[in-house]
Structure 1
Amino acid sequence: MDNTLPPNVHVSTHPCVRAKLSQLRSSSTNARDTKTLVHEIATIVGCEALAHGLETVQTGTDTTPLGYTYSTEDTAPAHIALVPILRSGLSMLDAVQALLPAPVPVHHLGMYREKTTFQPVEYYNNLPYHKPSAATDTSDASGASELAIIVDPIIATGSTVCAAIDTLRDWGVTRIISLSILASEGGLKRAAETWPEGVEFWVGGVDAETDERGMIKPGVGDIGDRLFLTVGK
């Protein structure tokens, strides 16, 4: 693998991620174990990403069960949205929701890759509509979130995540964190160039290339098909 990945790309070196990714690659790993491994890798990569992508802020004081006063803390920014890319992005959603200290809105984007051109086709988008000024008005719940967290297990050619970034940028987000289990080197570089000052990519691992079908080689196969038992449909 090329060691010259862009500075907004972060590849996990966690030993547990590497071991779990090796297990995930196996064709003998069934749907239930695939779901568990994706969840576990997403938890570790999510921890690494949020440690860098969030800040801690003082929010006041509270009292412990023994009557001691302590300073309370929360995370910033306050306006965060999770954006799973349907359908396989749903497999990472619970992991990231569990890491965040409070519930955040979830806005789904449905995209599939056209089989001959490898270009993304958007078939579902439930980002809330808002007035042009709403993105800068944090009191308006319909406005764009300050931080959007994309969850999509695989970045192969990069087309899908590039389209998602463009959609979120048009919506009005000011910053994006993209979380994935595995990416191809070329797809990751392409995606990293879409909005380099606004997007940070965190991935569990990187493979060198894609094949003639646009699948990562050696990769993990089609995660959506493996999760939902639709391989060979």
Structure 2
Amino acid sequence: MSPLPANVTVSNHPCLKVKLSQLRSATCSPKQTRALVKEISLLLACDALRSVLSVEEEGMDITPLGAEYPVETVSPKRIALIPILRSGLAMVEAFETILPENVPVYHLGLFREKTTLHPVEYYNNLPTGTANNASSCDVAIILDPVIATGGTAEAAIQTLRDWGVGKILVVSVLASDQGLRRAATESGGAGIQVFVGGVDQKLESKGMIYPGIGDIGDRLFLTIGK
């Protein structure tokens, strides 16, 4: 197996690995599933945000003891979270917790057509009407717990490029090797970084990761068998 693209980071955090193992279990309840996805996302957020953010001083403040100190803020400030509906919603709170300032959350609705496995966009609330097709953010962070075929991640990246975003992070709990490579190399991979909790080698005939974690959207929202 050839090495993964250089813009891919697979977590080696021991706690994340154990939590991913727990998430794989068919006995994991929806409540436990939501908790584990959030906890894994917190660990991924630390690495992903560290790769694109820096600290800058912005004015002065006073401590409770009356000492003056420089206020530190993150740069760049124009960051947007882009959860892929439905399951990406489970990752949003983790990133909001880690980020020291409020950031906008824009939703993309994409589903995989059952016969072709191609992504179909059914919802997009990215702001429109910006000058010269420029986006309203410097860094867009795509949140989707699973990268299976890679088609959804690829379509989301293309949408954000059309919106004018130069720097795109893709963050996922689990990816297939095939899908991970597809997402990381979209349009040559320029401006893309991908952070995942783990990688499985196989996809089954319906485009599901094997052994995987099942349909994570159904598991999160208790819609199994719908």
The RMSD of aligned alpha carbons is 1.0
| Structure 1 match to 2:196 | 203
**AA aligned opposite 1:218:** P
The equivalences for 1:54-133 within 5 A come to 54-133=53-132
| Structure 2 match to 1:13 | 12
Pair 1:163-2:181 in alignment: no
| Structure 2 match to 1:151 | 143
SS in 1 for 2:186: coil
**AA aligned opposite 1:192:** A
Alpha-carbon distance between aligned partners in 2 of 1:106 and 1:38, rounded to the nearest angstrom:
18
| Contact 2:133 2:163 survives alignment (8 Å) | no
The size of the alignment, in residue pairs, is 225
**Relative to 1, partners in 2 of residues 1:21 and 1:3: Cα closer, same or farther, differing over 3 Å?**
farther
| Deviation for aligned residue 1:3 | 5.7
| Structure 2 match to 1:29 | 28
**AA aligned opposite 1:148:** A
**AA aligned opposite 1:89:** G
SS in 2 for 1:133: helix
| Deviation for aligned residue 1:144 | 2.7
Alpha-carbon distance between aligned partners in 1 of 2:201 and 2:37, rounded to the nearest angstrom:
20
| Contact 2:130 2:136 survives alignment (8 Å) | no
| Structure 2 match to 1:219 | 212
| Deviation for aligned residue 1:131 | 3.5
Alpha-carbon distance between aligned partners in 1 of 2:153 and 2:219, rounded to the nearest angstrom:
20
**Relative to 1, partners in 2 of residues 1:116 and 1:134: Cα closer, same or farther, differing over 3 Å?**
closer
| Contact 1:134 1:144 survives alignment (8 Å) | no
SS in 1 for 2:190: coil
| Contact 1:179 1:203 survives alignment (8 Å) | yes
Alpha-carbon distance between aligned partners in 1 of 2:130 and 2:208, rounded to the nearest angstrom:
39
Alpha-carbon distance between aligned partners in 2 of 1:59 and 1:209, rounded to the nearest angstrom:
48
Alpha-carbon distance between aligned partners in 1 of 2:48 and 2:99, rounded to the nearest angstrom:
12
Alpha-carbon distance between aligned partners in 1 of 2:52 and 2:206, rounded to the nearest angstrom:
34
State the identity %: 54
* Structure 1 unaligned spans of 5+: 136-142
Alpha-carbon distance between aligned partners in 1 of 2:136 and 2:77, rounded to the nearest angstrom:
12
SS in 2 for 1:220: coil
Alpha-carbon distance between aligned partners in 2 of 1:3 and 1:36, rounded to the nearest angstrom:
34
SS in 2 for 1:116: coil
Alpha-carbon distance between aligned partners in 2 of 1:168 and 1:189, rounded to the nearest angstrom:
18
| Deviation for aligned residue 1:231 | 1.0
Pair 1:187-2:186 in alignment: no
| Contact 1:64 1:70 survives alignment (8 Å) | yes
Cα offsets for 1:177-228 (capped at 9, x unmatched): 1110000000000111104121100000000111001000000000000011
| Deviation for aligned residue 1:134 | 5.7
| Deviation for aligned residue 1:88 | 0.2
TM-score, length basis structure 1: 0.94
**Stretch of structure 1 that moved more, 84-93 or 189-198:** 189-198
TM-score, length basis structure 2: 0.97
* Structure 2 unaligned spans of 5+: none
